[in-house]
Chains A and B, each alone.
Chain A
Amino acid sequence: MVSSFFADIFKNNCLNIGVLPVTVSASFADRILSEVAKHPDTELEIDLQNQRITLLSTGDGETFDINAYKKGNMQHGFDDIDYLLNMASAIDTFAASR
């Protein structure tokens, strides 16, 4: 999913269910929209490893940010709940102290 802005809760939901939110500059978002308006079959390439998005028809592109941990989850098909369940006993110890 590509946008120049994502609200926090929506962005977290995306990351947690395996949908990659790509935040681009407002000007790049405008270029994508105008290109798609001209050519509806325009394709975008998203290279998660190198954190780069490219508009294939024009070769235009830019890099995007993603948290390193979230990137790893996305690449390996893990999610936060898998991570947290793996440390359940540490959480239980913490919970008992509160």
Chain B
Amino acid sequence: MEKKTLFDKIWDAHVVKSVPEGPDVFFIDKHFIHEVTSPVAFLNLEKRGIGVRYPHRTIATPDHNVPTVDQDQTIKDKLSRMQVEKLRENCAKYGIELHDLGSAHHGIVHVIGPELGVTQPGMTIVCGDSHTSTHGAFGAIAFGIGTSEVEMVLATQCIMQSKPKKMRISVEGKLGAGVTSKDIILYIISKISAAGATGYFVEYAGSAIQSLSMEARMTVCNMSIEMGARGGLIAPDETTFAYLKGKTYAPSGEEWTKALAYWRTLKTDEGASFDEELQFDAKDIEPMITYGTNPGMGIKVNASIPTAEGMEGSNKSSYLKSLEYMGFSPGEAILGKAVDYVFVGSCTNGRIEDIRSVAQMVKGKKKASNITAWIVPGSREVEKQAHAEGLVAILEEAGFELRQPGCSACLAMNDDKIPAGKYAVSTSNRNFEGRQGPGARTMLASPLTVAAVAITGRITDPREVFGN
């Protein structure tokens, strides 16, 4: 029998037709939409005079540009208000399930999908957002699409896609103390660069990956796109099944047994081939931080910023431009640099486990006086649980400001912006120029590192603040 990778198994099961010399007609099981990339898609459906073919396969929530305070009031920003109202209108018109602001399951689309059990192994999932790759943590093929494809999925439940190349990244061994899944992915991207997996779909494997919780796996898959990959996935296992059991939309009873039998087949056959294979050793990974303006510009938090030695031409000038934007010099240490803001949140690290780890670290301590600390739960469910576990009280006592769920300062498409020139150490996924606000200087790190920075007010190795 032909040996197949996990990716092949799911892909092949969703091809309605292969166009000769062209892409595959690829069936989409679940489609998430939000307020920013859907309005034009709906408008174009109207222009074509067609509707939504399978409304029950689409789920909506406003997350990108919503305010994270006073969500029970009318949105002040005009564009944001219009987009959220449009989403409500379109969902009502076409019968699409909407988890609106203030409702029990409102939140970042990539946080609520898994939380509700909508995201399941073996599925194909798309959304008009790059970080749709998050859902790959469940052993699903999940990737971001553009508005033109949102329209396509609404109209036909299919998109036209050429099968990407396959890469397997294995991380073997045991992670050191103070090292998280965020450090794994920042480490991998720093090794292969922000374009290192362009054209590939990545499967993450190895004992270090298998040892991760679902939340931690989501962090890894979430940032697949930051190395250029179309997406990333992890074979489902007992951890996956235990997470899904009992979730609102997860199968139950006989259906659960049936689903489980199928899900257990979802792994790469021994001897199946990849176009590219990379191996990393968990013991080489330490707490990471980025110092530049793409996620590939990461170093161990106790390392020095690389010099421009050996770089030439436009590579060298763009490297120096990036450091200039950040206000850093080649070759200097990053430890001890003063910071102005910390941000805990986003589809990368806005889940309960992230909030729990920050709360445990800052319990009984106070944030440094130079730090503004924002903590933004990924969803209402996360917020509710954080209250129930007493985490909110701990964080507020430490001087963190808890805001309401949304994408918030990850992309500053809302009121949560880091001021120009200020330094933010952030649990989010992108450190591009202006990503967190015009002129904002972003350093990406794990929730543990962010907690350490909040306490000391400077770039700090979390292992030194909290011990091992």
**Chain A interface residues toward B at CB < 8 A:** 5, 8-10, 12-13, 16-17, 26, 30, 67-70, 80-81, 83-85, 87-88, 90-91, 94-95, 98
Contacts and interface: CB of A to CB of B under 8 A. Distances in A.
A88 B151 CA distance: 15
Interface string B147-191: 111011001111110100000000000000000000000000000
B155 A10 contact: no
A10 B146 contact: yes
Interface string B29-65: 1000000000000000000101001100000000000
Interface in B5-35: 16-17, 19, 21-23, 25, 27, 29
The prevalent SS among residues of B at the interface is mixed
A88 B254 CA distance: 32
Contact of B21 (A8, A10, A68): A68
Nearest to B19: A69
Nearest to A97: B27
Given A67-B162, A85-B50, A91 B152 contact: no
Contact of B27 (A30, A69, A70, A91): A91
Contacts of A69: 19, 21-23, 160
A83 B157 CA distance: 13
B145 interface: yes
Contact of A12 (B17, B146, B158): B146
Given A91-B27, A94-B16, A98-B27, A70 B22 contact: yes
A85 B155 contact: yes
A91 B21 CA distance: 20
A9 B130 contact: yes
Contacts of A94: 16, 27
B25 A84 contact: yes
Contact of A80 (B21, B50, B152): B152
Nearest to A70: B22
Nearest to A30: B314
B27 A95 contact: yes
Given A12-B145, A90-B16, A94-B27, A84 B160 contact: yes
Contacts of B17: 87, 90
Contacts of A30: 314
Interface size class of B (residues with CB under 8 A): 20 to 34
A9 B157 contact: no
Interface string B311-322: 000100000000
A91 B157 contact: yes
B16 A91 contact: yes
Contacts of B144: 9
A84 B158 contact: yes
Ordered nearest first, which 10 A-B pairs have the shortest CB separation? Answer: A69-B22, A16-B148, A13-B146, A84-B156, A68-B21, A80-B160, A9-B146, A94-B16, A13-B148, A69-B19
B23 A67 contact: yes
Interface string B94-132: 000000000000000000000000000000000000100
Contacts of A5: 195
B230 interface: yes
Contacts of A68: 21-22
A8 B230 contact: yes
Contacts of A80: 152, 159-160
A8 B226 CA distance: 12
8 contacts: A12-B146, A12-B148, A67-B23, A69-B21, A69-B22, A80-B159, A81-B151, A91-B16
Contacts of B23: 67, 69-70
A80 B145 CA distance: 14
Contacts of A90: 16-17
A81 B22 CA distance: 15
Contacts of B27: 91, 94-95, 98
A84 B146 contact: no
A83 B146 contact: no
Interface in B297-337: 314
Contacts of B155: 81, 84-85
A97 B53 CA distance: 16
A72 to B, nearest CB: 8
Given A81-B151, A84-B155, 16 more contacts: A8-B230, A12-B146, A12-B148, A12-B149, A16-B148, A67-B22, A67-B162, A80-B159, A80-B160, A81-B152, A90-B16, A90-B17, A91-B27, A91-B157, A95-B27, A98-B27
A69 to B, nearest CB: 3
Contacts of B145: 9, 12
Contacts of B157: 91, 95
Given A8-B230, A91-B158, A16 B149 contact: yes
A69 B151 CA distance: 19
B130 A98 contact: no
Nearest to B164: A8
Contacts of A95: 27, 54, 157
B147 A83 contact: no
B171 to A, nearest CB: 25
B330 to A, nearest CB: 23
A85 B160 CA distance: 12
A85 B156 contact: yes
B147 A13 contact: yes
